[in-house]
Amino acid sequence: AQTVTQSQPEMSVQEAETVTLSCTYDTSESNYYLFWYKQPPSRQMILVIRQEAYKQQNATENRFSVNFQKAAKSFSLKISDSQLGDTAMYFCAFMKVDDYKLSFGAGTTVTVRA
């Protein structure tokens, strides 16, 4: 079974600054997908970014980027130019290729201060 660990329960960042969320995972698979989901107070689960393990290039979506270190089994999320609307819980998740089960970490609560 895959385990996903998010070691930071809470993070606080000033508006317009940068925050980095850590995520590590444990797997014996060589190919898989990694995701970051955002869950604002509305409770909706929003896909922020996705990374395929076979791709060396780090995924980027506007102000969100990842640092994928396959050998270290690390998948951190960087939020640049933080905005108040980024306040949410962020979940790291893992999925094997050709599978359908997502394994989630426990989440990191990010608070953006004005």
Partner 1 sequence: NAGVMQNPRHLVRRRGQEARLRCSPMKGHSHVYWYRQLPEEGLKFMVYLQKENIIDESGMPKERFSAEFPKEGPSILRIQQVVRGDSAAYFCASSPPGFSPLHFGNGTRLTVT
Question: Which stretches of the chain bind partner 1, using CB under 8 A?
Answer: 4, 35, 37, 42-47, 50, 91, 93, 95, 98-107
Q: Which is nearer to partner 1, 7 or 18 (CB)?
A: 7
Least separation in angstroms between residue 16's CB and partner 1 is 29
The pair of structure tokens assigned to 24 is 């590590």
Q: Which is nearer to partner 1, 16 or 97 (CB)?
A: 97
Q: Are 107 and 7 in contact (CB under 8 A)?
A: no
Q: Which is nearer to partner 1, 18 or 101 (CB)?
A: 101
The distance between the two most distant Cα atoms of the chain, rounded to a whole number of Å, is: 42
Q: Are 50 and 59 in contact (CB under 8 A)?
A: yes
